[in-house]
Amino acid sequence: MSDPIDELVALGHAAPSPAVFERALAAVRKSVGADAVLLVRCGGSDITILAAASPSLEISTNLVRTATPLIVAAPQGRMLTKAFTFRDRAVQMLAVPCAGESTWLMVWIRAEGDALEQATQLVRLAAASIPHESEGGEETARAALALIRSFSEPRKARLAGFCERARKLLGCDSVFLSRHTLRGWTVPACDPPPLPASRSALHETLLLAFSNHASEPDAAVFPGPDAHPSLPEICRLVECESCAIIPCWEGWAILAAWKRGEPPAQESLQSALAPLAPLLPSLHRHRRSLHQRWRALPFDRKRLWGIAAGAFILLMVFPFHLRVHAPVILEPSLRRFVAAPFDSVLKKVHVEAGTVVEKGALLAELDGKEVRERIAEIEAQAAAANLQSASDLAGSRFDQSALSSLQAQRAGHELEVLRQREHDLQILAPISGIVIQGELEREEGAALKLGRSIMEVAPLDMMVAEVALREEDAAFVHPGQKVVVRLNALPSADIRATVKKVNPRAETRDGRNIFIAEAEIANPDAAFRPGMKGDAVVVADRLPLFWILFRKPWNTLRSWLFW
């Protein structure tokens, strides 16, 4: 919108001519998106076209013929609006008098609501800036047109710009803008800044003055006979000699202060701000729709945004690998428990946790005193039974000889068990590896029950990374997928492996259900130890990026709204 506005402001200083008129009408048509814009002169019951910005002369003539009765019968100096229906579409005609009462600016536009209101304000201001013989009011019109360019700025900046232009038009030194709300009068902007502090003497006096004078139809001037006592107090606080409260629009008013001299007459004050006042509601509330902002963009900018939107859509639908993050812990691939072979007493422990042992290495010794004493006793019983059997056999006591022989065999079998226990007094490593558990030095001499675990030995050449998957992620992890492990003890090393299996049954850890995915990791240098923790990333299947980004928020929202 800024280009047509600049064109109108520039043409306001040009001498009137048909070429200047056509350029001005083209700028108006472009700024409001009108179908046709005409500049006509009304002479009695006839209307003459001075300039036109329309598809064709025939269309311009038909539009003038349609609007002639309305313009001839319109009140003098008043803007005329009329709605028509053309090809089942609503068309608005806006006719604004300009350069006296005989020249009219006619605009045919298809707009409704806020767009029509904004177009009406712009057409009214553009009519005042059309070049003509009289120069009166052009400065005010150009100031109002400049305000329209500030619609894209923040609200505070727009209102501050209004105060600045009002101060220049009135020739005063200070301007305070006030607006009436449900809570009373407020002061949203002023010029020069800054705004008076809330609850300060100036702020409270301004609110008192606006509440007493802003609702009146005419301006209140100090010095004057009907001035409220708050006005001289404001002059004292801002160090001025005179001031005036000027009603601008419904619920809007300004206070202007002059350091020297008296303010102009009441009629001059209100007429100077007449073109600016209708802009106040739009300056305070104006928000262009997305469609209007899109139409206002240059073609190059639209093309750039179109390319960016297309690239964004392609990026959202392009498949990427789903990366599942989960905690991980290292465990040995094989674990062997060494237990007490029989009830005994722990005599000596030769290794401790963390010791690397070879297969067959001595781990601990059990006390064999009781076993050896029992062996000696059984050996004596076996010898006595053999001797008795031989004696009975020599005396032809065959029954007694057979019984003694059976007792000797029984003693022999018991002796074999005791000798095996004697052999098991030395507990040897069943496999090569590292002792994971086995710190029993302080328990030497303690009694051991059959089956009690003494030590745990595991090989270190191969480790298993147990990845704790959340329930919502377990469905996307399958054997054969890649996994990257980063341990807390080795944060700079990325360990790559492959998922071997996913346990079909969930486990409970730290109060939540998880599924364990296992991946084997080679450990030739024994750098990894059982129990190391870290984080793992499983590179799952390819899925669209928008699904990867928004699946969790969507599932959460769906559970809130539809469950």
Q: How far is CA 468 from CA 273, 480, 508, 532, in A?
A: 73, 17, 10, 14
Split at pLDDT 50, 70, 90, the class of 87 is: low
For a pLDDT cut of 90, what percent of the chain falls above it?
10
Once rounded to an integer, what is the mean pLDDT over residues 401-422?
Answer: 73
- Cis bond before residue 223 (omega within 30° of 0): yes
CB 530, CB 318: distance < 8 Å? no
Give the per-residue pLDDT at 538.
93
The DSSP annotation for 82-123 comes to: EEEEETTEEEEEEEEEETTTTEEEEEEE---HHHHHHHHHHH
Lowest mean pLDDT among 248-262, 306-320, 489-503: 248-262
CB 538, CB 499: distance < 8 Å? yes
Residue from 203, 60, 50 nearest 130 by CA: 50
Lowest mean pLDDT among 115-124, 335-344, 459-468: 335-344
Phi, psi (deg, nearest 5) at residue 73? -90, 0
Which amino acid is present at 342? F
Query: Residues 176-221: pLDDT tens digits?
Result: 999 888 888 889 899 888 888 888 998 999 888 888 877 777 788 8
Lowest mean pLDDT among 16-25, 50-59, 344-353: 344-353
Once rounded to an integer, what is the mean pLDDT over residues 99-126?
Answer: 74
Give the per-residue pLDDT at 30.
82
Angle (CA) 141-147-150 rounded to 5° is 155
Mean pLDDT for the chain overall: 77
| Of 95-109, 130-144, 296-310, 362-376, highest mean pLDDT | 296-310
Give the per-residue pLDDT at 133.
47
Q: Is the pLDDT of residue 44 over 70?
A: no
Query: Residues 394-406: pLDDT tens digits?
Result: 776 777 767 777 7
Give the per-residue pLDDT at 537.
93
Q: Is the pLDDT of residue 175 over 60?
A: yes
Give the per-residue pLDDT at 563.
62
Lowest mean pLDDT among 23-27, 123-127, 305-309: 123-127
